[in-house]
Amino acid sequence: EAQVTQNPRYLITVTGKKLTVTCSQNMNHEYMSWYRQDPGLGLRQIYYSMNVEVTDKGDVPEGYKVSRKEKRNFPLILESPSPNQTSLYFCASSYLGNTDTQYFGPGTRLTVL
Amino acid sequence: RKEVEQDPGPFNVPEGATVAFNCTYSNSASQSFFWYRQDCRKEPKLLMSVYSSGNEDGRFTAQLNRASQYISLLIRDSKLSDSATYLCVVTRAGRRALTFGSGTRLQVQP
């Protein structure tokens, strides 16, 4: 089954404790992206990647890092999480020639205390 | 000003009603337009693309007015299963990100 998976689905952590949210897709997509969703603000792009070892900032990259060492994986790293990073995070992927149609993972609900 | 603006609702309508949502976008360089559906904080899923010529898919009709920078979605004969948040989405030329509105919530009641 074609899908985008994220882990963990739910996470409660404390300020300053480094964490990684994994994202994996099995559709051989070149393009992958991370979004966060906050009430009243919609989904906002954090980082994206157009292929292995190619990443770039989205609209709200501060406090986040990403890496793209393999085509299927695109982890999101919070080196020192803060309460304002409490949010619902979605990973998405698509073919590079068709980024209009992105497939989303199920979401990760993160709470930073 | 937000790049994509939507009325958050909620729109509470009875089954069988016709309901319309609107969305405005501020960037005239916006290139592609979509409606996504999101159920109860689950992942967004593409509902339909929006073209200037209009686009119909069963009970759903989407329309784009580039001159007014306005997108609409019409749902006819509403079903309980249509209850969800509808997200207006645009892309900009040369930029591969999707830019989302904050969504309009629809609640269809029996």
Say if residue B93's pLDDT is above 70: no
B101 close to A (CB below 8 A):
yes
Which of A94, A102, A108, A111 to substitute to test the interface with B, most B CBs within 10 Å?
A102
A41·B102 Cβ contact <8 A: yes
Average pLDDT over residues A60-78: 97
Cα dihedral A38, A23, A17, A89 in deg (nearest 10): 0
- All residues of chain A having their beta carbon less than 8 Å from the beta carbon of residue B41 are 88, 107, 109
* A38-57 residue pLDDT tens: 988 889 999 999 999 999 99
pLDDT at B78: 98
For residue range B17-67, list pLDDT tens digits in order: 999 999 999 988 888 899 999 998 799 999 999 988 889 999 999 999 999
Residue A33, CA distances (Å) to A48, A72, B34, B47, B108 in order:
4, 12, 18, 20, 33
> Looking at the complex, does the CB of residue B10 fall below 8 Å from at least one CB of chain A?
no
Contacts of A10 in chain B (CB under 8 A): none
Question: Is-contact A46 A36, C-beta < 8 A?
Answer: yes
Q: What is the pLDDT of residues B72-85, one digit of tens each?
A: 999 999 999 999 99
Residue of chain A nearest B101, judged by CA positions: A42
Give the one of A45, A100, A106 whose C-beta lies nearest to B43's C-beta.
A106
Write the residue in A31, A45, A107 that is nearest to B43 by C-beta. A107
Q: How confident is the model at residue A93 (pLDDT cuts 50, 70, 90)?
A: very high
